[in-house]
Amino acid sequence: MILVTGASGLAGGSVLGAVRKRGAARVRAMYRSGEDAKKAAGGGVGVEAVVADFADLGSLGAALAGVETVYLVCGPVPELVQLESNMIEACVAAGVKHVVLNSALGAGDYAKSFPSWHRKVEDKLRGTRLAWTILRPNSFMQNITAFFAPSIRTQGAFYSSVGNARTSFIDVGDIAEVAANALTEPEKHARKIYELNGPEAVTYVELAQRISRVAGKPVQYVDGSMDAQRMWLLEMGMPAWQVDALVELQQFYVNGQGGDVDEVLAGLLGHAPRGLEAFLRANAEAFRETGAATA
């Protein structure tokens, strides 16, 4: 039995779909509430839905009954280390054999922000008897539409403070495929750490130019100081802890640590990963004003 946590989220939902596509016989999808499970239609035909919470140790034991392999992912919350540690301890107690952990790029050597949180969880997992696979993905392509598209639609611009740093964005669907491979063939991926980058690295100025072409309208990247970025995020209503974490994470990219391009992802997939251009074209409407004509 495979258990996919975070099944109502972007990463977990994508992994659930990838596992189903591989034809896994027994799959269980974990949701935080019955409402989440209902919205996701219980994960689809052939998927067993279970309601559990990382903060509720009793619910985790029930969710893990009969499970051999787990995909572990948690949203970027301040309690991430404790919540994922709870799940790891529950996996040990339940006799789980293998955990595929969704970590983050930079967890190997960046002692700040989200990567540092993930590193603590990695160390916790590696200190148990469990077999493990650790995925350290770069920034999702989907973050472009989630964080940049709203201001692009209304202002024709998006804002950050990364200067000319390059980012090799990766499609969450490709990450999910790697995770599904590890979940369905765990022996091939045991004790492996995969740092996952996209197929090309671009600056935000170049990203703005590409969005302009696919959206059919001018789009500008506005670069500011870290302090200005902090102010923008706070004015958007983002909580201070999250603003601090995001600004610290941007420093990771400013330092040039998020722009690597390699063949690791393609080798794991067995085919070329999704390119940035294909993603932007498929999501062009997200950057246009409501009701705007297609270019």
Question: Tell me: the pLDDT tens digits for 158-190?
Answer: 999 999 999 999 999 999 999 999 999 999 999
Q: What mean pLDDT is reported for the chain?
A: 94
Q: What is the pLDDT of residue 24?
A: 87
Q: What is the pLDDT of residue 39?
A: 77
pLDDT tens per residue across span 114-126? 999 999 999 999 9
Shared domain for 283 and 154, answered yes or no, is yes
What does the alpha-carbon distance between residue 173 and residue 32 come to, in Å, rounded to a whole number?
A: 22
pLDDT at 42 over 70: no
pLDDT tens per residue across span 66-81? 999 999 999 999 999 9
Taking alpha carbons only, the member of 74, 58, 67 closest to residue 9 is 74
Average pLDDT (12-39) is 92
Average pLDDT (20-40) is 89
Q: Is residue 294 part of a domain?
A: no
Average pLDDT (286-292) is 76
Average pLDDT (53-60) is 95
pLDDT at 43 over 80: no
CB atoms within 10 A of CB 287: 24
What does the alpha-carbon distance between residue 263 and residue 273 come to, in Å, rounded to a whole number?
A: 10
The residue ranges of DSSP E strands in the chain, in sequence order, are 2-4, 27-31, 47-51, 69-72, 98-102, 131-137, 157-160, 192-196, 220-223
Contact in structure between 221 and 157 (CB atoms under 8 Å): yes
Q: Is residue 10 part of a domain?
A: yes
Q: Is residue 267 part of a domain?
A: no
Contact in structure between 254 and 224 (CB atoms under 8 Å): no
What CATH number is attached to the domain comprising 16?
A: 3.40.50.720
Contact in structure between 200 and 276 (CB atoms under 8 Å): yes
Tokens of 256: 């040039």
Three-class SS of residue 158?
strand
Average pLDDT (138-162) is 95
Q: Is residue 279 part of a domain?
A: yes
Radius of gyration (Cα) for the chain, nearest Å? 19
Q: Is residue 234 part of a domain?
A: yes
pLDDT at 201 over 60: yes
Q: Is residue 266 part of a domain?
A: no
Provide the residue range defining the domain that includes 96.
2-138+170-196
Comparing 187 with 228, the larger pLDDT belongs to 187
Strand partners, 222: 159
Reported confidence tier of residue 5, pLDDT bands at 50, 70, 90: very high
Q: Quote the DSSP letter at residue 140.
A: B
Dihedral angle, C-alpha 123, 124, 125, 127, nearest 10 °: 80
- Among residues 178, 196, 214, the one where a domain terminates is 196
Shared domain for 105 and 216, answered yes or no, is no
Reported confidence tier of residue 295, pLDDT bands at 50, 70, 90: very low
Reported confidence tier of residue 292, pLDDT bands at 50, 70, 90: very low
Reported confidence tier of residue 290, pLDDT bands at 50, 70, 90: low
Shared domain for 35 and 17, answered yes or no, is yes
Shared domain for 11 and 155, answered yes or no, is no
**CA atoms within 13 Å, Cβ hemisphere of 37:** 18
Q: What is the pLDDT of residue 232?
A: 86
Q: What is the pLDDT of residue 44?
A: 65
Amino acid at 284: A
Q: Is residue 292 part of a domain?
A: no
- Among residues 179, 196, 213, the one where a domain terminates is 196
